[in-house]
Structure 1
Amino acid sequence: MKGIQLPHWLTDITYTLIGILFCGFALKGFLVPNKFFDGGVTGISLLLHELYHFNIAYVIVIVNLPFIIMGAYQVNKAFALKTLVAVIGLGLCLLYVPYPQITSDKLLVSIFGGVFMGIGVGLAIRGGCALDGIEVLALYTGKRISFTISEIILGINIVIFLIAAFELGLPTALYSILTYYTASRTINFVIEGLEEYTGVTIISGQSEVIKQQLVMQLGRGITVYKGERGFLKDSFDISHPVDIVFTVVTRLEIRRMRNLIHVIDPKAFVFTSTIKEATGGVLKRRARH
């Protein structure tokens, strides 16, 4: 009997609500009481809060508004509306939920503040919205200048941390950089999870045996490209037809697959590439992001 599957909209709401609670916990339990920062729009909001003593709940909503409007044009209106509701929800959470201050230890604040912030933002992204609009700005700007989205985000964050260093001291800025790094890594983990998929391409003279073992022993689906191997420096004119095998595995399965291929053909050429999203085929269903 199949398990009960929740509707997509209910799953999205659940992810978003939990994400809001985690972000609120990170802000009021760790970052705000200790004058720490994060990157992106949240970092800008925290910086304005510290410099001008505006209420963080109002600041984080107001600062996100331009990016939400931008998101309506760069992504779609449904995304912008969901993000607006989520950001307002975060503001209400900061106003009315009585989070306690957890610790004043700077190292604990920088690490666990980033972890809880990353969990919150990552869950919101899984719910189909954004609690930090910096990537929308990077997407908008990236279409008009020659920098990548990652470079734009990095540049904006450098400006934020430089201002923090001048206004609040270098140690605070350095700890905040650690917070940002921890949050960004946690976001990636929450979105991708343990089952981040990896594409594997295998070129071997024993491709028939490898194909059979991948399907029958590992239970993976495969795709076969027809190619040629050879073309060595000393025998460039000599080549042989070969089946180029492509499959997708989770990172937990990579070692087992490599060992299996090595037993069949120690000289097989194998290379991998990270896959951000994979569905369908023989892959088991994953939560919709």
Structure 2
Amino acid sequence: MESNRFAKNVTDTLYTIAGILFCGFALKGFLVPNQFFDGGVSGISLMIHELYHWNIAIVIILANIPFIIMGAFQVNKTFAIRTFTAIIGLALCLHFIPYPQITSDKLLVSVFGGVFMGIGVGLSMRGGCALDGIEVLALYTGKRVSFTVSEIILGINILIFLVAAFKLGLPTALYSIMTYYSASKTINFVVEGLEEYTGVTIISAQSEKMKEGLVMKLGRGITVYKGERGYLKESFDISQPVDIIFTVVTRLELRRLKNMAHEIDPKAFIFTSVIKEAAGGVLKRVQRH
């Protein structure tokens, strides 16, 4: 038990260090030299640095302190301590590591600056901390208003980009929106990876063949709900019992599943849903941090 905990702590630390190095590379190699910025707390820090020319390392620490305090209450103290340590590490990285400026091409800066920033933030999330505290603020606000966390984050970032457009010019704001978009997509990929799971529900008259194909050919576990099908407009009083099949597959397996289901029953009703977290059962999943 102790050895597993030690190994997990070492892995978390390595993830966090790698995340810090990638974020430092994105900031000093792409964003800061070209007066670009990102969304979230990083975007606020870069904007303050650009407008008032304060040291970016100090600004990042000061900008994240309120969110670290929030994190202690919204998540737990361990998360807050890890996040504070990671932010200090990022500030030291920015101050002491002489990252070279990679390019001045605005398109390359907006895309690859966001990609490397997303890799860094995503790795830090896998390490159990946050190099950008905007989601902590969204969790805090979400308990007091009726908006979702995603809607709150979007609203905050819209305000950031509006201020940027007014203070730094519309082209800079538009390029920075591209940076934020590439960063957010990269974060999702780093955290979820290619093994991001998709829930698939199948309603078919050939449910027995469908169950056999899912289990025996695809090697998937299934859950079966008892339901009824029918109730069409022209024959509302007619219905038949049916097995509603639910299974979970990776994105890479989804096309194969749909092809198999179509071969068995071209009229099968199939719909999918995004699975944010999945563990246990017959899933072979790498542990998420």
TM-score normalised to the size of structure 1? 0.96
Residues 1:94 and 1:253: Cα distance change in structure 2 (over 3 Å): same
- Deviation of 1:81 after TM superposition, in Å, equals 0.9
Deviations 1:194-233 (A, max 9, x none): 1110000011111111111111100000001111111111
- Deviation of 1:6 after TM superposition, in Å, equals 8.1
Partner of 1:158: 158
Partner of 2:114: 114
* Worse overlay, 216-225 or 151-160: 151-160
Q: Is the 8 A contact 2:24 2:90 kept in 1?
A: yes
Q: Is the 8 A contact 2:68 2:80 kept in 1?
A: yes
Deviations 1:96-121 (A, max 9, x none): 11110001111110000000000000
Residues 1:287 and 1:55: Cα distance change in structure 2 (over 3 Å): same
1:196 correspondence with 2:196: yes
Mapped partners of 1:254, 1:172: distance in 2: 39
Identity of aligned residues (%): 77
Mapping 1:144-183, distance limit 5 Å: 144-183=144-183
Mapped partners of 2:171, 2:57: distance in 1: 25
Mapped partners of 1:6, 1:214: distance in 2: 39
Partner of 1:129: 129
Mapped partners of 1:244, 1:166: distance in 2: 54
Partner of 2:57: 57
Q: Is the 8 A contact 1:279 1:286 kept in 2?
A: no
* Worse overlay, 228-237 or 47-56: 228-237
Deviations 1:42-77 (A, max 9, x none): 000001111111100111011100000001111111
- Deviation of 1:264 after TM superposition, in Å, equals 0.8
Residues 1:145 and 1:6: Cα distance change in structure 2 (over 3 Å): same
Q: Is the 8 A contact 2:195 2:285 kept in 1?
A: no
- Deviation of 1:126 after TM superposition, in Å, equals 0.8
* Worse overlay, 112-121 or 237-246: 237-246
Residues 1:245 and 1:6: Cα distance change in structure 2 (over 3 Å): farther
Q: Is the 8 A contact 1:30 1:103 kept in 2?
A: yes
- Aligned residue type for 2:247: T
When the two chains are superposed, the root-mean-square deviation of aligned CA atoms in Å is 1.4
Mapped partners of 1:266, 1:6: distance in 2: 52
Mapped partners of 2:262, 2:53: distance in 1: 62
Q: Which runs of 4+ in 1 moved over 6 A?
A: none
Q: Tell me, what secondary structure is at the counterpart of 2:220? A: coil
Q: Tell me, what secondary structure is at the counterpart of 1:65? A: helix
Mapped partners of 1:135, 1:98: distance in 2: 30
Mapped partners of 1:132, 1:29: distance in 2: 19
Q: Tell me, what secondary structure is at the counterpart of 2:252? A: coil
Q: Is the 8 A contact 1:19 1:120 kept in 2?
A: yes
TM-score normalised to the size of structure 2? 0.96
Q: Tell me, what secondary structure is at the counterpart of 1:241? A: strand
Mapping 1:48-127, distance limit 5 Å: 48-127=48-127
- Deviation of 1:146 after TM superposition, in Å, equals 2.0
Partner of 1:247: 247
Q: Is the 8 A contact 1:224 1:246 kept in 2?
A: yes
1:43 correspondence with 2:43: yes
5+ residue gaps, structure 1: none
> Number of residues paired by the alignment?
286
Partner of 1:8: 8
1:216 correspondence with 2:216: yes
